[in-house]
């Protein structure tokens, strides 16, 4: 556990937080190019910044004099407390350093709350016996308190490091007020969160989710979410996401019916493996799956597999499911011969789905799309199911179902489903550090 912050270092903490805050803001600038292999530049901290930089930042604060005094005092103090507090700056930087700083991220918020807040509170109420304290109390201490509070609310990103094999976390739900959570595992084959709720046990589809997310800004990487209820248990969700600006990278989602519930708002999934049977990906979010593998498993006898089930109920909704540069094929244990697998079916009357630049394996049925059981007549004419630039044995379009809502798109139509246009990814994906392709 880090040592408690001493008063001479508190304005230095202010510097660290200010630097991290500025870096966080710069990280949200519009993405102009793809950054698949670009490493983030090294960040400057208060411990090693040039004096001119420190002085410039101090002069930009409401109380430059005590800030400068604290910087000078910190320069002559021992380095151990600064090292202890380095977790603060690491934790507040954008998440593009998660892969190299997980240990520092883990528990940094609790350390801040338990050690920094009491010191700041004590300082703000201290007497005026010391000239240094007297000058600081006139504003700098309150600045620290305010910045610390706002940082914990909106700038800090909570990170949970799940150790290898930590699979005893069933039915977790991240509430709407828990924003900017980053969940990081040791690899989707090593870190698996499991649950077994299902409709057969009386749960609603929404509540069957092994892991549910309502807080915006959620990130996950290198972890698998699994529902083990089985093919005959009905709806049994592995992962449900009803949060805006949620992104997953190199994750696994494994279940049977209703594996990934892309419930609502904007999502991005990159290089994930999603496996199931009926309605593998379903919901009414604006969701882009890019570079993912959608894999079908054996359903119950006589049942067909369906890869998408989109639930748009109004033609004005900007929602849909996009499979871009994905692989659509059989899982390691494939469906038995004769099992039909469809690209999608219309859960809602204005369902929208697009399959773009993807590999369609031999499991994909020649008709491509299938009706929703019991749907009103003509639903196939009000949906929008588009295909563009696909390859593989299942990509032939000559035998596709003849609905008016099934489209063989050109580039201009397909471009509407690109990350930059469909989920406005250039405005928020850059801050995640996850790779993405802006165009189709």
Q: Which residues are catalytic?
A: 258, 279
Residue 35 CA to residue 420 CA, distance in Å, equals 14
Rounded CA gap, 72 and 53, in Å?
Answer: 13
440, 425 in Cβ contact below 8 A? Answer: no
Tokens describing residue 374: 């019991």
Scan for tokens 């996950």, then name that residue.
220
State the Cα–Cα distance between residues 270 and 202, nearest whole angstrom.
33
Supply angle C-alpha 93, 95, 98, rounded to 5: 105
**What is the Cα–Cα distance from 410 to 154, expressed in whole angstroms?**
42
Look at the chain and count its residues. Answer: 440
Q: Give SS3 for 224.
A: strand
With contact defined as beta carbons under 8 Å apart, do 333 and 365 qualify? no
Report the alpha-carbon distance of residue 213 to residue 232 in Å, rounded. Answer: 26
Q: Which two tokens stand for residue 425?
A: 């990814």
Cα angle: 119, vertex 124, 45; to 5 degrees: 55
């Amino acid at each position: 556990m880090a040592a408690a912050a001493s008063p001479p270092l508190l304005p230095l903490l202010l510097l660290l937080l200010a630097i991290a805050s500025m870096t966080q803001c710069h990280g949200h600038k519009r993405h102009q190019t793809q950054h698949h292999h670009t490493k983030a530049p090294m960040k400057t901290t208060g411990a090693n910044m040039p004096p001119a930089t420190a002085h410039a930042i101090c002069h930009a604060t409401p109380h430059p004099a005590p800030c400068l005094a604290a910087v000078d005092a910190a320069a002559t103090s021992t380095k151990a407390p600064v090292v202890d507090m380095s977790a603060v700056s690491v934790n507040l930087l954008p998440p593009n350093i998660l892969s190299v700083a997980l240990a520092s991220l883990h528990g940094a918020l609790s350390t801040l709350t338990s050690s920094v807040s009491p010191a700041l509170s004590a300082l703000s109420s201290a007497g005026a016996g010391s000239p240094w304290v007297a000058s600081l109390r006139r504003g700098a201490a309150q600045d620290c308190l305010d910045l610390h509070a706002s940082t914990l609310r909106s700038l800090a990103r909570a990170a949970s490091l799940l150790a290898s094999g930590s699979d005893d976390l069933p039915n977790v739900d991240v509430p709407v007020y828990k924003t900017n959570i980053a969940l990081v595992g040791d690899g989707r084959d090593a870190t698996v969160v499991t649950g077994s709720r299902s409709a057969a046990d009386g749960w609603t589809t929404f509540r069957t989710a092994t892991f549910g997310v309502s807080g915006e800004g959620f990130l996950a990487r290198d972890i698998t979410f699994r529902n083990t209820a089985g093919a005959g248990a009905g709806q049994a969700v592995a992962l449900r996401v009803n949060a805006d600006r949620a992104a997953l990278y190199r994750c696994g989602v494994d279940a049977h019916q209703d594996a990934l519930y892309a419930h609502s708002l904007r999502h991005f999934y990159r290089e994930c493996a999603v496996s199931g049977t009926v309605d593998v990906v379903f919901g009414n979010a604006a969701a882009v799956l890019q570079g993912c593998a959608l894999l079908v498993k054996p359903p119950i006898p006589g049942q067909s597999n369906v890869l998408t089930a989109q639930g748009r109920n109004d033609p004005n909704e900007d929602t849909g499911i996009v499979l871009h540069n994905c692989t659509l094929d059989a899982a390691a244990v494939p469906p038995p011969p004769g099992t039909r697998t469809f690209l999608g079916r219309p859960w809602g009357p204005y369902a929208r789905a697009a399959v773009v630049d993807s590999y369609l394996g031999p499991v994909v049925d020649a008709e491509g799309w299938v009706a929703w059981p019991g749907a009103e007549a003509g639903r196939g004419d009000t949906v929008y199911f588009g295909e563009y630039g696909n390859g593989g044995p299942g990509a032939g379009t000559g035998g596709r179902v003849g609905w008016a809502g099934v489209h063989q798109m050109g580039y201009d139509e397909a471009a509407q489903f690109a990350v930059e246009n469909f989920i406005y990814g250039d405005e928020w994906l850059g801050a995640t550090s996850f790779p993405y392709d802006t165009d189709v």
